[in-house]
Amino acid sequence: MGPRWKGKGSEAKALADPMSKIVSELCSSLIQMASHGLLSGCSVLLAVEAEQTELLTRACFGRPIIVADKDQQWFQLGLEEAVYLCHSLKCLNIVGEDNCQKDVIELWQCMKSKKATFPDFYKAYSHLRMKNWVGRPGSQYGVGFVAYRHHPSLVHSEYAVLILSEEDGDANGRLRVWSDFHCTVRLCGSVAKTLLVLSVNKNGHGAISPSCLERYLVEEHTVTRWSPEQSRENQTITENGAK
Amino acid sequence: MGPRWKGKGSEAKALADPMSKIVSELCSSLIQMASHGLLSGCSVLLAVEAEQTELLTRACFGRPIIVADKDQQWFQLGLEEAVYLCHSLKCLNIVGEDNCQKDVIELWQCMKSKKATFPDFYKAYSHLRMKNWVGRPGSQYGVGFVAYRHHPSLVHSEYAVLILSEEDGDANGRLRVWSDFHCTVRLCGSVAKTLLVLSVNKNGHGAISPSCLERYLVEEHTVTRWSPEQSRENQTITENGAK
């Protein structure tokens, strides 16, 4: 299944404006503004100006929050998004609920305490982003993320990304029985996505600090339905063997 | 979500011809013919005449097999269907691959060896059938069965039936994490079915013999998506509180 572009010209638009370039512009802009994200529950709030609003929207990070103050725009970032901007792109500092800036170890511990699966989800999210895929939350499909080739306004998401942890065994407990496979693959088919399973192998490095992340391996598997009709060696051979 | 009848007149047709009556006619006909089912892999093959063909079709047991011999019709029954006809309705004998008739204990052991989840699946299947619901295999949706109010030619299936075993813990391993719930409920919604979870509680009675079945309890839960808009206390109250 190839990308499903939204209308004519979308593919050309995406090609002319690569995601890597948008993200690098966002990065520069956030550094220049010395942006601080404010940890709040399971998200990070970020006050931005018009330029960053446009770049966050184009790069598809977080979502804008409607507030009464018309001069200030706030963005709500997911944990993985915020840590990606902070730890991988080094363009955002994150301030805790105590108003103190978190160093990298504190941030890591904090994220793990908010979400036990954070190390695996973060590895998967950054794995996608580094390949210039846009990851958005996938909980409506029972997966970790959905992955877009470019901005969701130009293209439908192509992959439903399920994140499995190789070490934790039962921790995320998915795809352990065939019926779960059937259910997931059927749902993906009905919403025109391909199931992408990202298995995070920690290689025995645990998740004590974010420096472990570099040692993690991510194995990628797509899972699709096998259709006997579409899988014959030679598609021109009919059932009785005649060409 | 109510039943979705297939076309005009289907509901009246179903009401005029209750499933309980059809099954009881099938039962009498199979007894009269002294039918023998032949265990073959994970199904039971049954040679029938025109009358039983019609009744098996109307009662929705098994599926007809196309064979070269035009005078003899064969039906392929699922394990639960065959045991239901044999053990619950007492209208079918089952013969093993060694050509010997299986007594009830042998049959039970044989089914368990073919399918580890058989005791739970059988309890769930017979639970549905005794309430005059038609159960059909549900693996295309990643569930145990789909349940029809009457014959599938008259009505769409209303429930996707997931069977959980309360004792076996991880044995069928479903709905242990939220993402599996989300995936399953979303899929059910997209195919216009309600998720029905049948939890089989063996009450400590194990699965040594089919006599245990009587002690099993089946808990029924439907799971639906909670929609804030549709779940207000008073549907006529609008967002600002005015009626």
Interchain contact A177–B (C-beta under 8 A): yes
Judge whether A175 lies within some domain. Answer: yes
The last residue of a domain, from among B83, B115, B147: B115
pLDDT score at B191? 95
Judge whether B13 lies within some domain. Answer: yes
When pLDDT is averaged across residues A62-75 and rounded to a whole number, the result is: 86
The last residue of a domain, from among A61, A92, A115: A115
Sequence-separated (6 or more) residues with CB below 8 Å from residue B202: B119, B165, B166, B167, B212, B215, B216
pLDDT score at B98? 87
Determine how many CB atoms are found less than 10 A away from the CB of residue B93. Answer: 16
Q: Searching chain A, which residue's CA lies closest to the CA of residue B176? A: A173
Q: What is the pLDDT of residues A189-243, one digit of tens each?
A: 999 999 999 999 998 888 889 999 999 999 999 999 888 877 776 555 444 444 3
Q: How many domains are contained in chain B?
A: 2
Judge if B111 and B125 occupy the same domain: no
Average pLDDT across chain A, whole number: 90
Judge if B126 and B102 occupy the same domain: no
pLDDT score at B182? 94
Judge whether A243 lies within some domain. Answer: no
Instruction: Say whether A120 sits in a helix, a strand or coil.
Output: helix
Name the residue among B170, B173, B179 with its Cβ closest to that of A142.
B179
**Which of A193, A172, A239 is closest to B190 using CA atoms?**
A193
Strands A93-95 and A134-137: unpaired
Which chain B residues have a beta carbon less than 8 Å from that of A172?
A: 177, 179
- pLDDT of residue B243 exceeding 50, the answer is no
Judge whether A57 lies within some domain. Answer: yes
Q: What is the pLDDT of residues A12-46, one digit of tens each?
A: 999 999 999 999 999 999 999 998 999 999 999 99
Query: Residue A56 in contact with residue A170, Cβ under 8 Å?
Result: no
Judge if B124 and B111 occupy the same domain: no
pLDDT score at A67? 80
Sequence-separated (6 or more) residues with CB below 8 Å from residue B101: B36, B93, B94, B95
Q: Write out the residue range of the structural domain in which residue A193 sits.
A: 116-230
Judge if B61 and B130 occupy the same domain: no
Alpha-carbon distance of B64 to B49, in angstroms, equals: 12
Judge if A64 and A77 occupy the same domain: yes
Alpha-carbon distance of A224 to A241, in angstroms, equals: 27
Given the residues B6, B13, B115, B156, select the one marked as catalytic: B156
CATH number, domain with residue A23: 3.40.1170.20
CATH number, domain with residue A168: 3.40.1350.10
Judge if B108 and B125 occupy the same domain: no
Query: Can B148 be counted among the known catalytic residues?
Result: yes
pTM of the model: 0.86
Q: Best-predicted range by mean pLDDT among A94-108, A225-239, B141-155? A: B141-155
Judge if B106 and B70 occupy the same domain: yes
* ipTM of the shown complex: 0.84
**Token digits for B7?**
């076309």
The last residue of a domain, from among B115, B144, B169: B115
Q: With b meaning 16 or more CB within 10 Å and e meaning fewer, what string describes B21-60?
A: ebbeebbebbeeeebbbbbeeebbbbbbeeebbbbbbbbb
